[in-house]
Structure formats: C-alpha cells, structure tokens
Amino acid sequence: GDSVTQMEGPVTLSEEAFLTINCTYTATGYPSLFWYVQYPGEGLQLLLKATKADDKGSNKGFEATYRKETTSFHLEKGSVQVSDSAVYFCARAYGGSQGNLIFGKGTKLSVKP
C-alpha cells in the first residue's frame, strides 16, 4: 500500500556537520511531498514541500528534491545548528491535491555544540 519510509534515528551530529535524512515513498502517480519538523513539546511545522517531479523545496537552509526515478525526497542541510535539534517527518499527500497525509515514523536529530 501507500507508505513513507524514513531512515531510522536517532541521528547525532556535531554543529556545522552535513545532514541527510533519507525518505522514500510508494505511490501511484505523483503526490505532493512534504517535510515537517517537530520541536520538543510542540506541534508540527511545515518545513518545505514539493508538488511535482524535479521540484526542489527549500527553507531555512534545508533542501529536498522530488525524485520520481528513485521515489525519494531526501532532506539535506549543509551546516546544522544546535537549534535544528528536533524530530523530522517526511510525508506525502494521500490522494491527488488534497486529503490526508501519510507520514513516515520520524527521525530524531540531535546536534551537539
């Protein structure tokens, strides 16, 4: 069935290190793809999105490119900060342009000074 698979955490990095969090999806068609971030004790915030193949979403130094060939949407950041410590969720739209989202299980990132 339709699903989203993320690399398992936790991921621990030193400040200024390069970050990659892998995300792959299964789908019939080309759903919109999202990355959400959840800081401790808070709700989810939309980090970035891409709505069609080859789109690149970007925000706050984070980037992800919609790759239909590999059905992937990996999250990257060139230089992480302590304030980036959070749980990151990859998600895809379920049906067409609207409808519920299907989430990965989340990847916890800890950045050490």
Partner 1 sequence: NAGVMQNPRHLVRRRGQEARLRCSPMKGHSHVYWYRQLPEEGLKFMVYLQKENIIDESGMPKERFSAEFPKEGPSILRIQQVVRGDSAAYFCASSPGEDTQYFGPGTRLTVL
Given a contact cutoff of 8 angstroms between Cβ atoms, the answer to whether 80 and 73 are in contact is: no
User: Which of 25, 75, 80, 106: binder of partner 1 (CB under 8 A)?
Assistant: 106
C-alpha torsion angle, residues 73, 91, 5, 78 (rounded to 10): 40
Tell me: does residue 46 bind partner 1 (CB under 8 A): yes
Strand 75-77 relative to strand 19-21: parallel, antiparallel, unpaired? Answer: antiparallel
**CB of 70 or CB of 100, closer to partner 1:** 100
Q: How far is the CB of 80 from partner 1 (least distance, A)?
A: 22
Stretch that binds partner 1, among 22-30, 37-45, 56-64, 77-85 (CB under 8 A): 37-45
CA atoms within 13 A of residue 13's CA, in its CB half-sphere: 23
CA pseudo-torsion sign 50, 7, 16, 45: positive
**CB of 80 or CB of 93, closer to partner 1:** 93
Task: Point out which residues bind partner 1 (CB under 8 A).
Answer: 32, 34, 36, 42-46, 49, 51, 89, 93-94, 97-106
